[in-house]
Amino acid sequence: MGYESPKGEVNMYQGLFYEITKENIENPTVIRAPVSISNGLAWNKANDKLFYIDTPTNKVVEFAYDDENGRVSAENRTAFDVSQHSDKITGHPDGMTIDEDDNLWICLYGGGAVIKANPVTGELLKVVPIPARDVTSAMWGGPDLDILFVTTSRHSLNEEEKLQQPGAGSVFAITNLDFARVEDVVLLKQYIIKEHKMLQTTEESRRALGRCFLSI
């Protein structure tokens, strides 16, 4: 990643995507260059595919992965392109995780949502709105690994936006994901993010938002 200014502006094409092993730790292998903002990494269940995000490209790309020696292929293909679904989602892909069905869960920085995508077909399967514009990373947790924990940022928000998005900067825990419907959550996303009509809250409720459970 290139230099990031205090305003969050990043110099493009100044970064590298490395493969580091105990053998090459003094001279890591460059997998892809140049890149701008390296983010999400995820491996499929068979451990033969590596998914990777360079945020400004708006794409998740897939590399072949050799689990025996940890090698990543030089060639890649686009597994999911956020730009192809601009009628339903906005923002840029940031952090990412994968589920037991090898579907990707991608955080949308600037888009106020986590999305579920099929990396084989490129299909957008689900949109889960988050009451914060900048969604940064996600990971499965809980006793049954069925709760999606999602982090958000408030770093780039101005004072008015912080009041409109009191949950920004919180960690959210999302349950009941099997029952979410794209039609419902897209409407909610438009309400929260595009219209900026979130209700003002008391200081007490804002503190409570630091640990939020979203039951979809």
One digit per residue, the tens of pLDDT, for the chain of length 216 reads 666 666 667 777 888 888 888 888 999 988 888 888 889 999 999 999 999 999 999 999 999 999 988 888 888 999 999 999 999 999 999 999 999 999 999 999 999 999 999 999 999 999 999 999 999 999 999 888 889 999 999 988 999 999 999 999 999 999 888 643 333 333 333 333 333 333 333 344 344 434 444 444
Domains and CATH numbers, the chain: 15-215 (2.120.10.30)
Q: Is 81 a catalytic residue?
A: no
What is the predicted pLDDT for the residue at 206? 40
Which residue in the block uniquely carries the two structure tokens 């600037």?
110
Nearest C-alpha neighbor of 170 from the set 140, 149, 139: 149
What is the predicted pLDDT for the residue at 205? 39
Which of the following is catalytic: 66, 94, 134, 146? 94
DSSP states of 24-84: STTSPEEEEEEES-EEEEEE-TTS-EEEEEEGGGTEEEEEEEETTTTEEEEEEEEEEEGGG
**94 in a known ligand binding site:** yes
**39 in a known ligand binding site:** yes
CB under 8 Å to 106, separation ≥6 — which residues? Answer: 40, 53, 60, 80, 82, 93, 94, 95, 96, 114, 115, 116, 117
pLDDT tens by residue, 44-99: 999 999 999 999 999 999 999 999 888 888 889 999 999 999 999 999 999 999 99
pTM confidence score: 0.79
What is the predicted pLDDT for the residue at 3? 62
67 vs 82: CA distance, rounded Å: 28
What is the predicted pLDDT for the residue at 5? 63
What is the predicted pLDDT for the residue at 1? 67
32 vs 72: CA distance, rounded Å: 10
